[in-house]
Amino acid sequence: MKIYTKILIGMTIGAILGYAMGPRSPWLEKSSYIVADGSRLNLRLNPTEAASEIDLPSKYPIELLRPLPTAATQNVEGWESVHLTVDEKLVLLDADGSLRQRLGADLHGTANVWLKPDVRTLEDGDTVTWPEPLSSTGFHFIDWLRPIGALFMRLIKMVIVPLVFTSLVVGVASLGDVRRLGRMGSKTIALYLLTTAIAIVIGLLIAGIAKPGHVVDAKSRTMLQAQFDGVVTDNVSRVLSLPSTSDMLLDMIPINPANALASGHMLQIIVFAVMLGVALASIGGSAVTLEVFDKIQQAMIAMIQWIMALAPFGVAALMADVVANSGFSILKALFVYILVTCAGLLIHTIVIYGGLVRFGARMSLRQFLAQIRPAQLIAFSTSSSAAALPVTIKCAEENMKISKSVASFVLPLGATVNMDGTALYQGVSAMFIAQIFGMDLSINAQMTIVLTATLASIGTASVPGSGVINLALVLGAIGIPAEGIAIIIGADRVLDMFRTTVNVTGDLAVAAVVAKSENEFVT
């Protein structure tokens, strides 16, 4: 059986497991609530005790609250008796020292307490009541599965830095002369920037035409905003403005290459590796030096072969986690937005990449997609172009027959700076949020989005979830409130999988074009 068939089976089984055995399973008994960031519950130790209401601050998230399954669960003016599992976070939760002591003294491990959700009135008069009930067994099952996915991710991440570094040194040094590197480098970067800008335009156009923001009703909007407000204030609004271009460029030069390698700062690693490659070539680097790098690179690829044996299990666990944690109500409320983003990604893939490989590399889109499928599947299931890089390089060299020097130069660069899927997603999201807030985006504002999102995509780390953080930059540049991200963040995990797949597809399409133009397909 081919590796991608195995990975596909793993993904399918994982998705089914996540649905059937996860916390939202329709078949498991629901006995828990997750109080996520932003939901607020009032708590007191007994229903008649008036003074001791405690507002659970939204900053201390995710407690597992188990209502008593017996008749003891009753409503006293909206208060509900629950069996509460107290962990350290809850004991720490209140800033008021006396209260903290009391909580600490009264609640050991588990306790019966009284809770009341902070009831919000929505615009149409409905109220938000309890969070969605969930299954504890489901949580435990997913918790138990999670280390398998984490193991796979860690193993892949382990090879990324040495692989990128050695690939680039060998790739660049084997190009021979600096002029050739300059030509290939400028072609590569130009194609990366161009496809990214086109992706954003497609995102803006499709969201402008389909107007997904006009479909979200007030109720869903308030629900989403209430649920994720805390997450956004904590994580996203920290990103305030785009660094100046000179800062961005300067930051690409590592002061200490060893530090760059140790911290995995990809842009810095790329700059150092390229310069080292050029320098080795220019001093006529002895065959022995290059061979050391070459052998380390080959050893990394050998390790990837072993790690890939784990891939079907790893992706199964990763998929189960995603499916288990994506609340259906969220996906339903954002259905049109998700659909529009995916449609944009599909159009970009078919039209732009289809055109690129057809006219730039004399290859049909179908042939191209068949050759890169393993890389796409890993990108989809890990949501990280960096994690997919080892497989991306392998597909380019083994399936597409792109020469090693082109693959090892173009792809590590692409995994770091080229993110068409992310850029397109940012275009759609900016439009969508603006529509929800009733703002009209002028042509100028849209041009600003194209510019900032192109720049932001270069600086976006190729790891899960970084696209949404940089979206705050893009929104900030045109004055859309970053809090709007609270509305879409619930769908981020799912969209991340699709946009990362497109990110990786874009790298490979450009690699094919560069290889063709440089006559670097090996036969």
Which residues make up the interface to ligand ASP (CB under 6 A)?
383-385, 419, 422, 460, 462-467, 496, 499-500, 503
Least distance to ligand ASP, CB of residue 404, Å: 23
Measured CA to CA, the distance from residue 269 to residue 275 in angstroms comes to 10
Q: Give the DSSP letter string of 242-257.
A: PPPHHHHHHHTS-SSH
- C-beta contacts of 371-376 below 8 A and 24+ residues apart: 371/395, 371/399, 371/400, 372/396, 372/399, 372/400, 372/504, 372/505, 372/508, 373/4, 374/3, 374/4, 374/7, 375/504, 375/508, 376/501, 376/504, 376/505
CB of 153 to ligand ASP, least distance (A): 12
Cβ at position 423, least distance to ligand ASP in Å: 9
The residue among 407 and 497 lying less far from ligand ASP, judged by its C-beta, is: 497
| Closer of 24 and 499 to ligand ASP (Cβ) | 499
- The distance of closest approach from Cβ of residue 449 to ligand ASP in the complex, given in angstroms and rounded to an integer, is 16
Contact 114, 84 (CB under 8 A): no
The nearest distance, CB 500 to ligand ASP, in angstroms, is 4
Q: Pairing state of beta strands 64-67 and 54-55?
A: unpaired
In this structure, the strands spanning 32-34 and 120-121 are unpaired
Asked if 393 contacts 440 with a C-beta cutoff of 8 angstroms, the reply is no
Q: Which residue is nearest to ligand ASP (CB)?
A: 467
Task: List, as own/partner pairs, every contact residues 173-181 make where C-beta atoms lie below 8 angstroms and the sequence separation is at least 24, other chains included.
Answer: 173/277, 173/278, 173/280, 173/281, 173/285, 173/290, 173/293, 174/290, 174/404, 174/405, 175/277, 175/281, 175/405, 175/409, 176/281, 177/281, 178/278, 178/281, 178/282, 180/518, 181/274, 181/278, 181/409
Burial of residue 85 (CB within 10 Å: 0-12, 13-18, 19+) is middle
Cα 33 from Cα 486, distance rounded (Å): 21
Identity of the residue, 227 or 341, whose beta carbon is nearer to ligand ASP in the bound complex: 341
Nearer residue to ligand ASP within complex by CB, 107 or 378? 378
The whole-angstrom distance between residue 359's C-alpha and the CA centroid of its chain comes to 31
**Residue 248 to residue 454: CA distance in whole angstroms:** 13
Q: CB of residue 471 vs ligand ASP: minimum separation in angstroms?
A: 9
Inter-residue contact 378 to 391 (CB < 8 Å): yes
Question: How many residues in total does the chain contain?
Answer: 523
Report the nearest approach of ligand ASP to the CB of residue 189 (Å): 18
Nearer to ligand ASP, 181 or 456 (CB): 456
- Residue 218 CB, shortest distance to ligand ASP, in Å, is 29
The DSSP letter of residue 348 is I
Rounded to a whole number of angstroms, the minimum distance from the CB of residue 145 to ligand ASP is 21
**Nearer of residues 174 and 462 to ligand ASP, judged by Cβ:** 462
In angstroms, what is the minimal distance from the CB of 485 to ligand ASP?
13
Residue 446 CB, shortest distance to ligand ASP, in Å, is 20
18 versus 464: smaller Cβ distance to ligand ASP = 464
Q: Which residue, 222 or 503, has its beta carbon nearer to ligand ASP?
A: 503
| C-alpha 156, offset from chain centre | 16
Tally of helices (H runs) and strands (E runs) in the chain: 22, 10
SS3 37: coil
Largest interatomic CA distance in the chain = 85
Q: Which is nearer to ligand ASP, 352 or 417 (CB)?
A: 417
Pick 459 or 484: Cβ nearer ligand ASP: 459
Between 385 and 446, CB nearer to ligand ASP = 385
Q: Cβ closer to ligand ASP: 404 or 499?
A: 499
Using CA atoms of 500, 502, 504, 506 in order, give the dihedral in degrees to the nearest 10. -150
Least Å distance, CB 418 to ligand ASP, is: 9
- Shorter beta-carbon distance to ligand ASP: residue 216 or 419: 419
Q: How far is the CB of 424 from ligand ASP (least distance, A)?
A: 10
